[in-house]
């Protein structure tokens, strides 16, 4: 059962993050927007609304996961989305994975695997 | 001769950087703290919660879960804001320090067992996050060269 909840946490989190990042790339011209502006953007742009739905699914699946597994397993295990998101950020969002960023991401992935050990 | 706008530009860039770092720190800290509130509240509920979604309604009136949910909403809005000034592939590893904080809080507050491997993993995550944090926040082709 725990793997079903974990898969749901990961897949919905990846979809939500990619949608959010794609939409917000056009918004940073004059600095990070405040909370009110973010709320207005969520209300006016459907991909952001859909991303919130994905995050909600991920959140409720996470709640079910922490009920049956310790937090120190649930949090790092759900970080499996990390590697997938980094790869998809390059492939779908066109982000450049420079040497330092790639090396750091690999270290973080290795760390997450150990923490979930 | 430089205009007022040109003279003020370095200050604006500096202010933007400071605001972005403030957001990064808040986003990193808020998530693990909210996770502790959620885990604390959820542990008070019956195990059948995992197979009976209707019991989620009961979870939603637990004070600890309510605090955790409110913190997660603020965290989500801040993170969306952060994604407007930084790449997803930058935000993910830098805010991964939250996993280290979660491990620490799980050990100290919830008295969970944390093995040596987990501590080594936590150190690796910290090193990786520091390495990514020292790289530029945005992909030049999509932001700076526009």
Query: Which has more confidence, B50 or A27?
Result: A27
Round to whole Å and give the CA distance between B11 and B26: 22
Per-residue confidence (pLDDT) for residue A116, from 0 to 100: 65
CA distances from B145 to A76, A79, B82, B141 (A): 36, 32, 20, 6
pLDDT of residue A29: 66
Angstrom distances, CA of residue B132 to CA of A25, B20, B36: 19, 15, 26
Q: Is A9 part of the contact surface with chain B (CB cutoff 8 Å)?
A: no
The model scores a pTM over 0.90: no
Give the mean model confidence (pLDDT) for residues A10-25: 91
- Per-residue pLDDT at A49: 93
Report CB contact under 8 Å: B93, A101.
yes
**Residue A90's pLDDT band (cuts 50, 70, 90):** confident
Q: What angle do CA A106, A110, A113 make, to 5 degrees?
A: 140
Instruction: Compare CB distances from A89 to B15, B87, B124 and report the shortest one's residue.
Output: B87
Structural domain span for residue A86:
2-115
Quick one: pLDDT at residue B114? 79
Looking at the predicted structure, is the pLDDT value of residue B126 above 70? yes
pLDDT at B36 over 90: no
CB distance B117–A117 less than 8 Å?
A: yes
Q: How many domains does chain A fold into?
A: 1
Q: For residue B78, what pLDDT is reported?
A: 92
Which of the two residues, B64 and B114, has the higher pLDDT score? B64
Report the distance separating Cα B140 and Cα A94, nearest Å.
11
Q: A41 touching B, CB under 8 A?
A: yes
User: Which residues of B are less than 8 Å from A34 in CB distance?
Assistant: 81
Q: Does B92 have pLDDT greater than 60?
A: yes
Q: How many residues does chain A have?
A: 117
How many whole angstroms separate alpha carbon A65 and alpha carbon A4? 9
């Amino acid at each position: 059962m725990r793997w079903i909840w974990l898969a749901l946490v990961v897949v919905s989190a990846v979809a939500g993050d990619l949608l959010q990042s794609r939409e917000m790339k056009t918004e940073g011209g004059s600095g990070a927007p405040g909370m009110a502006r973010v709320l207005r953007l969520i209300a006016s742009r459907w991909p952001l609304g859909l991303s919130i739905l994905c995050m909600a699914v991920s959140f409720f699946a996470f709640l079910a996961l922490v009920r049956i597994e310790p937090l120190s397993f649930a949090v790092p295990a759900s970080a499996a989305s990390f590697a997938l998101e980094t790869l998809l950020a390059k492939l779908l969002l066109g982000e450049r994975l420079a040497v330092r960023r790639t090396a750091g991401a690999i270290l973080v992935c290795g760390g997450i695997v150990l923490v979930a050990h | 001769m430089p205009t007022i706008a040109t003279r003020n530009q370095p200050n604006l860039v500096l202010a933007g950087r400071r605001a972005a770092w403030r957001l990064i720190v808040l986003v990193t800290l808020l998530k693990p703290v909210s996770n502790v509130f959620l885990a604390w509240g959820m542990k008070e509920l019956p195990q059948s919660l995992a197979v009976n979604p209707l019991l989620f309604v009961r979870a939603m009136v637990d004070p600890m879960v309510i605090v955790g949910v409110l913190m997660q909403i603020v965290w989500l809005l801040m993170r969306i804001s952060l994604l407007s000034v930084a790449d997803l592939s930058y935000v993910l590893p830098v805010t991964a320090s939250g996993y280290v904080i979660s491990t620490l809080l799980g050990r100290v507050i919830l008295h969970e067992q944390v093995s040596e491997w987990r501590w080594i993993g936590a150190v690796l995550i910290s090193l990786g996050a520091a390495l990514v944090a020292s790289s530029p926040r945005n992909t030049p082709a999509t932001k700076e060269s526009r």
